[in-house]
Structure 1
Amino acid sequence: MSTAPWTGHVTPGGPTAVRVLDEVELRKASVGPMDNNAYLLTCRRDGAQLLVDAAADPDRLLALVREGDASARLDLVVTTHRHRDHVGALASVVAVTGARTAAGADDADAITEATGVPVGRRLHDGDLLVVGHVTLEVVALRGHTPGSVALAYREPEHTHVPGAAPGRVHLLTGDSLFPGGVGRTTTPQDFTSLYDDVVARVFDRFDDETWVYPGHGRDTTLGAERPHLAQWRARGW
């Protein structure tokens, strides 16, 4: 399938958006009736690949995997949370590729119950995932579901440049953070949990240049969203 320049905008049946970074190629595609975003990260040094959310349309996702590596190598599938619109193609993708699986510890059993796929690694806040030569940090964001996780990839620092700033962070947030607010919650307690985690574990840790890749829709940055945190807290969603 052809690719388009990176805009962060994708549509079901449309082309993949591709972003080439120093260490990794990041591909974004939309699948299924719920317009879910799926992300493929490909290590540029050895071709190792990680898929975030095998949400729907296994044929499209397998084509996405082949865009990153023609041999259809897939090392790991990370599921950001348990909701059915994020796991619909998990069984098919794993069966074809033999990829390992990972998900938040508190969502793992529900994912297995829904898909029949055992979760090989149960993730906790601060865990590190290594795929090829690429390392991502797990950020637990509790509230949309108990075991929701985000993944943070930091571009390498340019240590040869005196005074260079730390590398930019790319944050894949599932349904926990979107342009305009945190993800949907069903109780005030869940909202408080999610809001508090998003503030403490995302906005308090990462700078405004951090790029946010959500589970649906367009991208954003922390800089674009930070001025609205108090408004989110006051409205309760």
Structure 2
Amino acid sequence: MLLTGFPAGAFQTNCYVLASEAGAECIVVDPGMDAMPGLTELLKEHRLKPVAIALTHAHLDHTWSVTPLVDGYDMVPYLHGDDAEMAADPLAWHGQGIAQMLGGKEPPTFDTFEELKDGTTIDIVGVQLTARHTPGHTQGSVVFQFEHPDAQVVLSGDTLFQGSVGRSDGPGGSHETLMDSIERVCLPMDDATVVLPGHGPQTTIGAERRTNPFVLERLAGRG
């Protein structure tokens, strides 16, 4: 399996590309701001053809480059329906203050997508991503699970990070709901499961179970 990625743009959002091998069709996960140059280079280097866009949620730093990908490769993104309104009108959800951070750029919008539900599988030749609904960071946040030849992997978006968890103070966010999602979906995974987050370095479920202060606080409350 080919699994690669890079941090894109001012928000350093991790964009991932998955394929069975070089020269194959691929899935692009979370193409954020200024992701197209890096993506174009990766696709050319590995001779890949994007056939699906998998979105962990609809925040702009994860969806900014959806439109050029859709226009360039004639496909639609996959998104959980609970984030549909955010994708269609991001400023209404992010607030006008985001405009200064965008440097005057007009935020992209989209309202056409394949709807993800808990358990939906995106299946292309040699790659299967299974979505699990993990609300809390946004109402429609998901993580994607898949089997790599070397390990179980979860693309955790902004639900779970190395040593931290996603923010929950934005519209549609809830810390209690987020921790419920992590406990329900992520913590039952095997300790060796590799976590590839939406920002920052990779980790494992076991490492986060042992050292993540938010997870430790949650588990202590269950004692």
* TM-score normalised to structure 2 length: 0.81
In structure 1, what is the equivalent of residue 202 of structure 2?
219
Query: Which one has a larger percent helix, Structure 1 or Structure 2?
Result: 2
Q: Which residue of 1 aligns with 2:125?
A: 132
- Extract unaligned runs of 5+ from structure 2: 91-107
Shift of 1:42: 1.1
- The count of aligned residue pairs is 198
Say whether 1:68 aligns with 2:46.
Answer: yes
Match of 1:59 among 28, 37, 46: 37
CA–CA distance in structure 1, aligned partners of residues 164 and 209 of structure 2? 10
* Cα distance in 2, alignment partners of residues 231 and 67 from structure 1: 44
- The residue that corresponds to 1:179 in the other structure is 162
Change (3 A) 1:108 1:63: farther
Between the aligned residues of both structures, percent identity stands at 29
1:97 to 73, 79, 82: 73
Contact 1:49 1:73 in 2 (8 A): yes
Residue 160 of structure 1 corresponds to: none
Amino acid paired to 2:178: L
What is the CA–CA distance in structure 2 between the aligned matches of 1:45 and 1:55, rounded to whole Å?
23
Equivalent in the alignment of 1:48: 25
Give the alignment's Cα RMSD to 1 decimal: 2.2
d(CA) in 2 for partners of 1:219, 1:140:
21
Q: What SS does the aligned partner of 2:50 have?
A: coil
Gaps of 5+ in 1: 1-23, 157-166
Is 1:34 the equivalent of 2:27?
A: no
Shift of 1:73: 1.3
1:117 Cα offset (Å): 2.8
For the 8 Å contact 2:196–2:202, the answer to whether it is kept is: yes
Shift of 1:39: 0.1
**How far, CA to CA, are the matches of 1:79 and 1:119 in structure 2?**
13
1:219 & 1:196 partners in 2: Cα distance?
Answer: 22
Structure 1 runs of 4+ with >6 Å offset: none
Q: Which residue of 2 aligns with 1:231?
A: 217
Residue 209 of structure 1 corresponds to which residue in structure 2? 192
- 1:73-98 CA-partner distances (Å, limit 9, x unpaired): 11001111111111111111221122
